[in-house]
Amino acid sequence: MERSIYTLGIETSCDETAIAILRNETDILANIVYSQAGLHAKYGGVVPEIASRNHLRKLPYLVKEGLEHAKIKFSDLSLVAATYGPGLVGPLLVGLSAAKGIACGSGAAFLGVNHLEGHIFSHRLAYPTVKPPFLVLIVSGGHTSLVEVKRYGEYQPIGATRDDAAGEVLDKVGKMLGLDYPAGKEIDKLAIAGDQSTIRFPRPMLGDTGFDFSFSGLKTATAYYLRENPTFKVEDVAASFLAAVIDVLVDKTLKAARRYKLTQIAVVGGVAANSLLRRRLTAHGKRFGIQPFFPPLDLCTDNGAMIAATAVFRYIHLNEQHDPSLEPAPSLEF
């Protein structure tokens, strides 16, 4: 019998301190996330220094807990991986330094992972039998991109946001509505209780033939509405605003799938948790024979398992590992 490959994956690009232990390519033995969201809530967004300091405080304990949970020792690890970009430089430095140290001390290989590719691999973890080619909608607090996965490791960027990410605009409008950061989940809930036909917000770039997104105009339109209508009903604003965001995401994604003749769509990133996006993309996709896949919630949001899964794929199939001098790349793209 072939020896198992154990990978430790570390994710610290933003405000989630996350680790996972993977056996071979898709078998998750431990997947632990410590969310710092509560620490940043009163500032209305992530404070990089607070994030860095708390990654430094929590990470060693999460690694220890993960190894115990997986019932393995440092010396069993073949590979140690961490996100090296995109993200906040201080938080990235914490995870990268830890990964390099553990790899060096345990004799394992070291690999830096692109966080965006990581989100794509959350789909592979959830649906190991769904094979490329497929379209990916990466929709999170930091990113809104459409990418064709020709095969794992080979990507064709199709479109991206020109300003705010979808999650970012949800969080910013949430702040205007007096909601805690991050506000996406709460807007999701409020919208269910509201009437989306109350306010007709713009659907930016909907008529455009390209596949880029733009959400900052919608944010401004919402700010004007709130200023001019101080007695607004929060549920109705949430429902009307969310409907505008989701209409654009669904329309562009399905157009891209049809243009590139792809019948499978992987939706990944924190906003993939959104119930309206799930309902609409599934219903509208059906008309064109297009099937969307949504990973379970713990794999949608930032996690270490997707980082470990990306790393072990690149290590085994692309024969890749990184030199310990690898630096963080805050603006890394595909």
Q: Note the residues at the interface with ligand KG4 (CB under 6 A).
A: 14, 140-142, 167, 170-171, 182-185, 188, 269-271, 273-274, 301-302
Under the binding rule (CB under 5 A), the answer on residue 11 touching Zn ion is no
Under the binding rule (CB under 5 A), the answer on residue 16 touching Zn ion is no
In whole angstroms, the minimum distance from the beta carbon of 302 to Zn ion comes to 4
Q: How many residues bind Zn ion (CB under 5 A)?
A: 2
**CA pair distance 77, 324, nearest whole angstrom:** 17
In whole angstroms, the minimum distance from the beta carbon of 249 to ligand KG4 comes to 11
Contact set for Zn ion, span 292-311 (CB under 5 A): 302
Partner from Zn ion, ligand KG4, none binding residue 254, C-beta < 5-8 Å depending on class: none
SS (H, E, C) the chain: CCCCCEEEEEECCCCEEEEEEEECCCEEEEEEEEECHHHHHHHCCCCHHHHHHHHHHHHHHHHHHHHHHHCCCHHHEEEEEEEEECCCHHHHHHHHHHHHHHHHHHCCEEEEEEHHHHHHHHHHHHCCCCCCCEEEEEECCCCEEEEEEEECCEEEEEEEECCCCHHHHHHHHHHHCCCCCCCHHHHHHHHHHCCCCCCCCCCCCCCCCCCCECCHHHHHHHHHHHHHCCCCCHHHHHHHHHHHHHHHHHHHHHHHHHHCCCCEEEEECHHHHCHHHHHHHHHHHHHCCCEEECCCHHHHCCCHHHHHHHHHHHHHHCCCCCCCCCCCCCCCCC
Partner from Zn ion, ligand KG4, none binding residue 218, C-beta < 5-8 Å depending on class: none
Closer residue to Zn ion, CB minimum distance, 171 or 235: 171
Partner from ligand KG4, Zn ion, none binding residue 87, C-beta < 5-8 Å depending on class: none
Closer residue to Zn ion, CB minimum distance, 15 or 302: 302
In whole angstroms, the minimum distance from the beta carbon of 85 to Zn ion comes to 12
Closer residue to ligand KG4, CB minimum distance, 132 or 295: 295
Partner from Zn ion, ligand KG4, none binding residue 183, C-beta < 5-8 Å depending on class: ligand KG4
In whole angstroms, the minimum distance from the beta carbon of 226 to Zn ion comes to 28
Under the binding rule (CB under 5 A), the answer on residue 140 touching Zn ion is yes
In whole angstroms, the minimum distance from the beta carbon of 34 to ligand KG4 comes to 13
Partner from ligand KG4, Zn ion, none binding residue 171, C-beta < 5-8 Å depending on class: ligand KG4
Closer residue to Zn ion, CB minimum distance, 90 or 194: 90
**CA pair distance 95, 217, nearest whole angstrom:** 35
Closer residue to ligand KG4, CB minimum distance, 114 or 140: 140
In whole angstroms, the minimum distance from the beta carbon of 182 to ligand KG4 comes to 4
Which tokens sit at 250? 């669904």
